[in-house]
Amino acid sequence: MGRVVAVCARRGHHFSKTPALSIRLLAGLGVEGDGHMGATVQHRYDRRRDPTRPNLRQVHLIPSELFDELHGKGFAIAAGDLGENITTSGIDLATLPGSTRLHLGAVAVIELTGLREPCALMDKFQKGLKAATLDRDVDGGLSYKAGVMAVVLADGDVSPGDAIRIERPAGPSQPLQPV
């Protein structure tokens, strides 16, 4: 079981988000009041390509353990800096299979849709950050460490300190892929 370390949201499209005391998750939409909230794709690049696609990036999660790793590499990163809505602790998010459900706090439920692919904006935030969030797996393939994306299945408020319960998908599972 993991924990919520921080929650963040921000109106409009900005790289970083603002830490909050709590956020409200809305089923099928995302984080209330956040620039990426919506049933259809809100990411600016993807929306230009096809604005009718479903929004698989309603909620962005990053493990706080990544911040520790980045601090060790000389980066100054705090909750919300990388655009995440929820900072977690105690869960290796990137290793969870697709369609894993996370129960956040008392009633909120999200379902993991994929990995966040590090983008060029990371280097605009801090030079070298994009490369620092990429790695190679044992087969030489790229390994993304910039967090995971999810959709909201059940409404609920989420606050720092809330428990996170993992519900793995039934049957065979697939590793998360970039979305």
Q: Which CATH architecture has domain 2-167?
A: Beta Barrel (2.40)
pLDDT of residue 43: 85
Q: What is the 3-state secondary structure (H, E, C) of the chain?
A: CEEEEEEEECCCCCCCCEEECCEEEECCCEECCCCCCCCECCCHHHHHHCCCCECCCCEEEEEHHHHHHHHHCCCCCCCCCCCCCEEEECCCHHHCECCCEEEECCCEEEEEEEECCCCCHHHHHCCCHHHHCEEECCCCCEEECCCEEEEEEECEEECCCCEEEEECCCCCCCECCEC
> Is the pLDDT at 77 greater than 90, yes or no?
yes
pLDDT band at 89 (very low <50, low <70, confident <90, very high): very high
| pTM, entire model | 0.96
Average pLDDT over residues 109-119: 97
Percent of the chain beyond pLDDT 90? 92
Q: What is the pLDDT of residues 25-45, one digit of tens each?
A: 999 999 999 999 999 999 888
In the chain, where the domains are located: 2-167
pLDDT band at 109 (very low <50, low <70, confident <90, very high): very high
